[in-house]
Structure 1
């Protein structure tokens, strides 16, 4: 799925959740960024077909898209009832909360450490159970706590436990970003025994650690097959 369509689907979902009444197709075309209803018949028909595809896609995902009409009009409209779509409250057992806190300590890179700690503080502030015997976290905790505030280990009673997988390879961050953005990348890669690196063009699936080393798994476009690349053997920049 293209990023443009994903953004349009998110905009459509948020728009339909933000109203209690049924929105007509014309109103949706005017309100949702990403739609262009057009001025002539052909452009409007193209917009209607796009909306029908998006509507069916949301329903296939299990999003409860409701069809109906308001009392003052007879044109069919659409909405998403918050009560039907809202996620239930997250409740963690003490063991689950402890495992989650321990997992966040795995990340030693600055780009991932801060979001992980912030997420745990939000869980603790919402009353999530911490490690056995400590009870729920402080409800007044600030998710944006300044330096020196309790970290995830202290919040969950896990101080002293330190699982670590260091990511020293320069290719780690750009490869991880490419996975998140679903973006193909190219990079020079030297296999064992080769005197010179060869360029690889890869659609990345994931970045994983095995026996203390980091790897990129993905589809090698030039070979037309799945491949795994050890990040320490990437000899130059990772480029889109």
Structure 2
């Protein structure tokens, strides 16, 4: 029996593992590959012969490290990595970056160098990227702008840019310390410290026109929450990021006269609890009490307000407003 296919597959697996972390103890590699430490040493030697710069790590356990280098041979993917790459390229149109055409060309290039068994799997993958309908087309962030922002973030260099906010057409360029390039619900944003406003700001990447060259280096700051995800969620929910929480500023609890199974599919981040007899307990948040009351009214069911009183008052005001609307005749 020819052992070459098994050996080749093992070499790809070894290379894949070496790319996922800085140092790998030899014993752990042997365990993950289900081979002996001696086989790992032989496989490492084979990869070195192919040009991969793998160095031995000294220490009690010993190990290996895949060093960076300009002479690294062409990338090799195992089956799972190749399929994952194809799926990611299929989904590129929904990322909010203007890279759909480039992703399609990259997928065609990757497909050409795949072995037949993988091409069949990729060709069988038919993905239709559908975005939610919007009142206006979603602006795409230019890939060159994303790269310029990312480079400034990585270098920790002050970034100046024109910002098309729609409110200040003749505004001077913004001067910022760029900290993170991030995505939120299909849009790209820059999280930065605004040097003129002395505060944290988020900027839509599709409205940014970077100025060249970048400014001097800066010392990174910590966002008020210490956690970028929490900070951004709080900003977009209208909460105070300095409070260290991403909870909605208005959160209430009600009892809906509707089964939990009918309510749960329409909740994004609420908590629903089945009470029986066609009733459920629901905890939900919103940016305002009126917004929360209106959101709860969409379930078309009787509502018992558990609290707080601000939610009860919002229901009363909306009730008066809706009554006048129903009685209005022209």
Please say whether Structure 1 and Structure 2 have the same fold, judged by a TM-score greater than 0.5.
no
The structure showing larger relative contact order (alpha-carbon pairs under 8 Å, at least 6 residues apart) is 1
Give the structure with the higher percent strand: 2
Q: TM-score, normalised by structure 2?
A: 0.30
TM-score, normalization: structure 1? 0.39
Which protein has the larger Cα radius of gyration, Structure 1 or Structure 2? 2
Higher helix share: 2
